[in-house]
Amino acid sequence: MIRVLIVDDSAVMRAFLGRVVGSQPDMELLGASPDPLLAIDRIRRNPPDVITLDVEMPRMNGLDFLRNLMAVRPLPVIMISSLTRQGAETTMRALELGAVDFFPKPDSFDQLEGSAQEIAEKIRAAAGARIMRRRAPVAHAPAAPVQKSNFAPLTGSTRPRPRPACCIG
């Protein structure tokens, strides 16, 4: 089972992504958090295999959360945001910080419903990704300091992840 945590401030997106994950026989929804700071406790208690993450959220930006997460507890992350479109600066930044994929939030509910299978496939692919701890910030971007008080508890034991035969490294 692929264990998924959803982090998005939109109740509509949390419900939609929860339905997508819940309808897949090989996925389990661990929870849905309306902001990254609430997600920290969930990650500490029950680490997911994949996180879906929005960019614009209250209390902490998704990119700042991603940077900190990859520094202390690397996990496969799929950015799902209206800001993550092919070639967009935010998309490129998220990938540089360690996100394994992205999906643009559709403009309409009809488009959203039609994207369920593609999102499920992206979650499956992300679950097989090998994630490396980020040792140094990306050179051209100013690095926000890791919030040790928030992230330090995330450094506990982790379950070993199988390495896909297709990946280098």
Query: Up-side HSE of residue 94: CA atoms within 13 Å toward CB?
Result: 30
- Is residue 145 situated within a structural domain? no
In a domain, residue 34? The reply is: yes
Domain assignment of residue 42, yes or no: yes
Question: The CATH number of the domain where 21 resides is what?
Answer: 3.40.50.2300
pLDDT tens across 86-145, in order? Answer: 557 888 899 999 999 999 887 777 777 889 999 999 999 999 987 766 554 444 444 444
Whether this prediction's pTM lies above 0.75 is answered by yes
Report pLDDT digits (tens) over 35-50: 999 999 999 999 999 9
**Which is it for strands 2-7 and 101-104: parallel, antiparallel or unpaired?**
unpaired
pLDDT tens readout for residues 139-162: 444 444 444 445 544 544 334 334
